[in-house]
Amino acid sequence: MCGIVGYIGPRQASDVLLSGLARLEYRGYDSAGVAIIDAGELTTTRRVGKLVNLQNALGTSPVAGNVGIGHTRWATHGKPSEENAHPHRDCTERIAIVHNGIIENYVELREELRATGHMIRSETDTEMVAHLIESYYEGDLKVAVAKSLKRLEGAYALGVVHLDHPDVIVAARKDSPLIIGAGDGENIVASDIPAVLEFTREVVVLHDGEIAVVTADSVDVFDLALRPVVPEMLHVEWDLDAAEKGGFEDFMLKEIFEQPKALRETLRGRMNDGEIQLSELAMTAEEIAGIARVFVIACGTSLHAGFVAKSLIEQWARIPVEVLCSSEFRYNDPIVDDETLVVAITQSGETADTLAGVREARLRGAKVIAITNVVGSRVTRESDGVIYTHAGPEIGVAATKTFTAQIAALNVLGLKLAQAKGTLGSERVQSIFDELSTLPDVVEAILGSLEELQECAELFADATSSLFLGRGVGVPVAMEGALKLKEISYIHAEAYPAGEMKHGPIALITDQVPVVVVATQGHTYEKVVSNIQEVRARGAQVIAVATSGDDDIRNHAEFVLHIPQTSEALSAIPATVPLQLLSYYVAKRRGCNVDQPRNLAKSVTVE
């Protein structure tokens, strides 16, 4: 997943491109580059590694000009190198393009282009697009781009400039995100909204199969047959502050601390007079009553929210729930029919595996509800209904506030299903919702109370491996805690149901393997304590997440992270917060870049 940006207007393009790329760096940071047009010249500057290398290069050799495109890369085809960095150019070096996505038929196109005399310089799929545009160009850039797009298989968001047309950027998208920030006398093309917020909050949402011709004063949108299309406009409510660090050292820490707000916003307006308000479900009570099974599909952190949902929906609505990572769902011939509700959870709304799963589910007749944080994202167009988490932009690559917001939204969904199915009465639904509504305050209290965390992080100073254990809803919490640690501190972390640990992973236990245990009050609490004893008997040092007032747990663990008492069903959100912070402090102590961990990208738009 790469980030692309384009600028046209009165400012120095390099400044706007660099500021936009800085806000898109979460999408990849293997290399970065810009191409800028000025006084009859198209100058390309590219550097391997993080954006700072490009910033330094442009600091030393500034490039003037008011129109340009930029790119930050997460390598798919071809190693991270200057040659493979975007923008890519055609043979004449008059055309430059930036691309996010994968051109699946690039090998075939490369043969064809080579056979017709084109000089291919990089190992990328993207470069083929520049040469295709060159070969179709007869004076009209938009026409050449449209003809080229018809030759492409795969996914793309593209920005194209041509020296013959110094007053235009052509942009296009299919299966990769792209928006255009519509400013006053200036326009900014970008993969994501934070890149344009410094300049405007008015956004044109480009849809699949659309081409935009962008000048400083206009954005004209066309379909692939070049028929004009009325552009979809969006007013963005967040301001730039919301997309910046706001005094925190890292985006991740800021986002962890934004959880109370994210939860409040996500729960706002969801209960009225004992009735859960979820019109986005777009299903009648009768249709809900007809749901025979639920499938949850998601990837990464969102998948863990799915596991929490399973326990809630099964417990409250008594509907069997299967949870599968999207990449497995799609190819596993899932048993899905018109009595199946598929819940697709994706923070970005752009994850290729989840989108493919959504399509598969709908082909099989299922109704698909998406849970996403990004308004206008691809999943919102492909699903029957959308429940938004209102967590605000999440910039840190490791998901935090969107995870807990997803769980909040899934709680609401679970209650709605239970209410429609009649498995929970209105009073019970109201009382669960009332407790749910206290969680923002509960999380706030946790965030203000975990002094022991930094000390606790010391346990991981020399660790290369760790175990995360839990039971019931504590299992997905442990999975998420382990994922966070892996992602940002690069310490191996394995999550296991605590009761299953003795059937294998216990062999890993030594005094060098810290064990984190979700040991909050619940019907399996005593069993969890026994599991703690099992690992301690083998030398492990234990960090326990436990309920306030449980002082006995101190006899069983080196460190205790206390969280306020909640009902067991609602404990996933508060129990997750200390684990997010633990992984944060461990990673910081080890000098890791928590916002941009190696090899990862915020949204993965390839399969």
604 touching ligand G6P, by CB under 6 A: yes
The piece of 88-96, 139-147, 332-340, 594-602 that touches ligand G6P (CB under 6 A) is: 594-602
Q: What's the CA gap between 266 and 264, in Å, rounded?
A: 5
* Closest approach of ligand G6P to the CB of residue 255, in Å: 12
From the candidates 174, 367, 588, 602, which is the catalytic residue? 602
352 touching ligand G6P, by CB under 6 A: no
Pick between residue 187 and residue 348 the one whose CB is nearest to ligand G6P: 348
* Closest approach of ligand G6P to the CB of residue 588, in Å: 18
The piece of 191-199, 383-391, 440-448, 595-603 that touches ligand G6P (CB under 6 A) is: 595-603
Pick between residue 84 and residue 347 the one whose CB is nearest to ligand G6P: 347
Residue 92, φ and ψ in degrees, nearest 5? -80, -10
Work out the number of other CB atoms within 10 angstroms of the CB of residue 301: 22
Segment holding 22, helix H or strand E: helix 13-24
The piece of 37-45, 131-139, 397-405, 544-552 that touches ligand G6P (CB under 6 A) is: 397-405
Segment holding 266, helix H or strand E: helix 259-267
Residue nearest to ligand G6P according to CB distances in the complex: 300
Q: Quote the Cα angle for 208-365-104, to 5°.
A: 35
Distances from the Cα of 347 to the Cα of 370, 380, 603, angstroms: 10, 11, 8
603 touching ligand G6P, by CB under 6 A: yes
Assess whether 602 carries a catalytic annotation: yes
Among 14, 348, 547, 596, binds ligand G6P (CB under 6 A): 348
Among 76, 84, 354, 571, binds ligand G6P (CB under 6 A): 354
Which residues in 283-312 contact ligand G6P (CB under 6 A)?
Answer: 299-302
* Closest approach of ligand G6P to the CB of residue 601, in Å: 6
Pick between residue 383 and residue 547 the one whose CB is nearest to ligand G6P: 383
Which residues in 148-177 contact ligand G6P (CB under 6 A)?
Answer: none
* 445 CB-contact burial (10 Å; exposed 0-12 / middle 13-18 / buried 19+): middle
Pick between residue 33 and residue 349 the one whose CB is nearest to ligand G6P: 349
- What is the dihedral angle through the alpha carbons of 571, 572, 573, 575, rounded to the nearest 10 degrees? 80
* Closest approach of ligand G6P to the CB of residue 357, in Å: 10
Size of the site for ligand G6P (CB under 6 A): 17
Pick between residue 12 and residue 605 the one whose CB is nearest to ligand G6P: 605
Query: Cis before residue 10, ω within 30 degrees of 0?
Result: no
- What is the dihedral angle through the alpha carbons of 12, 392, 311, 529, rounded to the nearest 10 degrees? 90
Among 14, 31, 44, 347, binds ligand G6P (CB under 6 A): 347
Pick between residue 17 and residue 355 the one whose CB is nearest to ligand G6P: 355
Cβ within 8 Å of residue 227, ≥6 positions away: none
Pick between residue 34 and residue 155 the one whose CB is nearest to ligand G6P: 155
Pick between residue 83 and residue 494 the one whose CB is nearest to ligand G6P: 494
* Closest approach of ligand G6P to the CB of residue 387, in Å: 14
From the candidates 2, 299, 456, 592, which is the catalytic residue? 2
Which residues in 533-562 contact ligand G6P (CB under 6 A)?
Answer: none
397 touching ligand G6P, by CB under 6 A: yes
The 8-class DSSP code of residue 586 comes to: H
* Closest approach of ligand G6P to the CB of residue 301, in Å: 4
* Closest approach of ligand G6P to the CB of residue 485, in Å: 13
Among 149, 206, 342, 399, binds ligand G6P (CB under 6 A): 399
The 8-class DSSP code of residue 247 comes to: T
Pick between residue 88 and residue 602 the one whose CB is nearest to ligand G6P: 602
Assess whether 142 carries a catalytic annotation: no
Pick between residue 66 and residue 347 the one whose CB is nearest to ligand G6P: 347
* Closest approach of ligand G6P to the CB of residue 345, in Å: 7
Q: What's the CA gap between 182 and 367, in Å, rounded?
A: 35
> 321 with 345: CB under 8 angstroms?
no
Q: 3-state class of 429 per DSSP?
A: helix
> Residues of 248-275 as b/e, b for ≥16 C-beta within 10 angstroms?
eebbbbbbbbbbbbbbbbbbeebbeeee
* Closest approach of ligand G6P to the CB of residue 297, in Å: 10
* Closest approach of ligand G6P to the CB of residue 534, in Å: 31
Q: What's the CA gap between 81 and 221, in Å, rounded?
A: 34
Among 14, 44, 311, 346, binds ligand G6P (CB under 6 A): 346
The piece of 154-162, 178-186, 529-537, 596-604 that touches ligand G6P (CB under 6 A) is: 596-604
* Closest approach of ligand G6P to the CB of residue 378, in Å: 11
The piece of 45-53, 74-82, 342-350, 576-584 that touches ligand G6P (CB under 6 A) is: 342-350
Alpha helix locations (H) across 369-505? Answer: 378-382, 401-421, 426-436, 439-447, 453-457, 474-489
Half-sphere exposure of 232 (CA within 13 A, CB side): 12
Any idea which residue has 């026994």 for tokens? 530
Work out the number of other CB atoms within 10 angstroms of the CB of residue 510: 10
351 touching ligand G6P, by CB under 6 A: yes
Pick between residue 118 and residue 602 the one whose CB is nearest to ligand G6P: 602
Q: What's the CA gap between 382 and 205, in Å, rounded?
A: 15
Distances from the Cα of 444 to the Cα of 258, 266, 314, 441, angstroms: 9, 16, 29, 5
Distances from the Cα of 399 to the Cα of 78, 319, 394, 433, angstroms: 28, 28, 7, 25
Strand-strand pairing, 210-214 and 219-223: antiparallel
Question: Which residue(s) pair with 186 in the sheet?
Answer: none
Using CB under 6 A, list all residues that contact ligand G6P.
Answer: 299-302, 346-348, 351, 354, 397-399, 600-604
Q: Which residues are annotated as catalytic?
A: 2, 602
